[in-house]
């Protein structure tokens, strides 16, 4: 394989998240994610192969996130309340980081 990324022939993608492999589609990942939209744009330079993309994240948390991306709703595992709390806190933290506070206090 050359150093440039080959054009993908399908929408399917494999993600290695914390050692666990997930299979999904690029359209699912990019529909509501600025991170994945940039990741799959032609501007992003990567050393990942076309076969698998590595994300150094917690697989259990990513499973919940991917479920949210697929179903457009949170389907949290009731048997793991700590995972649910961790996913919720990470989401709140990310939302707070992207929030525009420059207009606070202005009429």
Residues 59-81, mean pLDDT to the nearest whole number = 80
The lowest-confidence range among 53-57, 82-86, 102-106 is: 102-106
**The pLDDT of residue 71 is above 60:** yes
- Can you tell me the mean pLDDT for 35-53? 72
Structural tokens at position 77: 């595992």
Indicate if the pLDDT at residue 45 is higher than 80: no
2 to 6, 7, 26, 54, 55: CA distances (angstroms) = 8, 12, 22, 19, 22
Q: What is the pLDDT of residue 82?
A: 78
pLDDT score for 1: 38
Does position 15 have pLDDT exceeding 90, yes or no?
A: yes
Query: What share of the chain in percent tops pLDDT 90?
Result: 18
* Whole-number average pLDDT of the chain: 74
């Amino acid at each position: 394989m050359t150093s440039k990324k080959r054009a993908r022939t399908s929408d399917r993608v494999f993600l290695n998240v914390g050692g666990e492999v997930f299979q999904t589609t690029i359209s699912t990942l990019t529909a509501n994610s600025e991170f994945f939209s940039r990741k799959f744009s032609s501007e992003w330079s990567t050393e990942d192969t076309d076969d698998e993309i590595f994300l150094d994240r917690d697989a259990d948390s990513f499973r919940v996130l991917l479920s949210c991306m697929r179903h457009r709703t949170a389907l949290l595992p009731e048997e793991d309340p700590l995972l649910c709390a961790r996913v919720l806190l990470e989401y709140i933290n990310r939302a707070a980081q992207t929030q525009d506070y420059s207009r606070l206090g202005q009429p």
